[in-house]
Amino acid sequence: MSIEFLLTSLIVVVSPGTGVLFTLATGLTRGARASVVAAFGCTLGIVPHMAAAILGLAALLHTSAIAFQTFKYLGVAYLLYMAWMTLREQGGALAVDAETSERSSLQVIGHAILINILNPKLSIFFLAFLPQFVSADESHPMLRLSELSGVFMLLTFVVFVGYGLFAAAIRRHVISRPAVLAWMRRVFAGAFAALGAKLAFADR
């Protein structure tokens, strides 16, 4: 495992995106346990994209405009839905509860998985990213790609848990101040909407 791969992966994982945003929001509104669940869900959400890259299926998204646009706009619609639900302060994974029930944990992990699954650019990214760290004379390229994918997923989970636990640590200060909570919801709703708009108007 090269240091270049680890550093590049760490930079990619730490960079703010929909998964980071969702994990932070979950930690702030539901606490430490739910933030770990969100981190786990976001990590699971990248599995299909990694599998697609390893199996070469991501090439379909790269060459088929219809397939790419379909996935893209499904992702846009879901991000806008998340923005609307966050702003309305109703249900979903971003509702503020004193305790996180089993049902809400399932909601959190479901939202987290969907957020990453419905982002077609992840498949394109992994198709371009993973092969850079596999030599041309690799005797077992599939095994090597799987190993790199596993390390990337582990980094994703660890970093996202860190984000979530940090957010959960300041949760009490946020929840006890209604004005701050209202401001926080507007910020997260705006961020989800902005990410949706960015995905909608981004080039392939």
Enumerate the domain spans of the chain.
18-201
| pLDDT for res 60 | 60
Q: If residue 15 lies in a helix (H) or strand (E), which one and from where to where?
A: none
Question: Which two tokens mark 89?
Answer: 């302060």
pTM of the model: 0.69
Would you say 203 and 62 are in contact if contact means Cβ atoms under 8 Å apart? no
**Helix, strand, or coil here: 98?**
coil
Question: Which two tokens mark 109?
Answer: 């992990």
pLDDT beyond 60 at 165: yes
In the chain, the N- to C-terminal Cα span, in Å, equals 30
Question: Which two tokens mark 203?
Answer: 């080039």
Kindly tell me the burial class for residue 178, based on how many C-beta atoms sit within 10 Å of its own C-beta (0-12, 13-18, 19 or more). Answer: exposed
Residue 199: which pLDDT band, with cuts at 50, 70 and 90? low
Q: pLDDT of 122-140, one tens digit each?
A: 777 777 777 777 766 667 7
Nearest one of 9, 7, 14, 21 to 116, comparing CA atoms = 21
Question: How is residue 130 annotated by DSSP?
Answer: G
Measure the CA–CA gap between 27 and 80, rounded to whole angstroms.
20
Measure the CA–CA gap between 92 and 185, rounded to whole angstroms.
13
Nearest one of 131, 130, 113, 117 to 41, comparing CA atoms = 113
| pLDDT for res 98 | 47
Residue 100: which pLDDT band, with cuts at 50, 70 and 90? very low
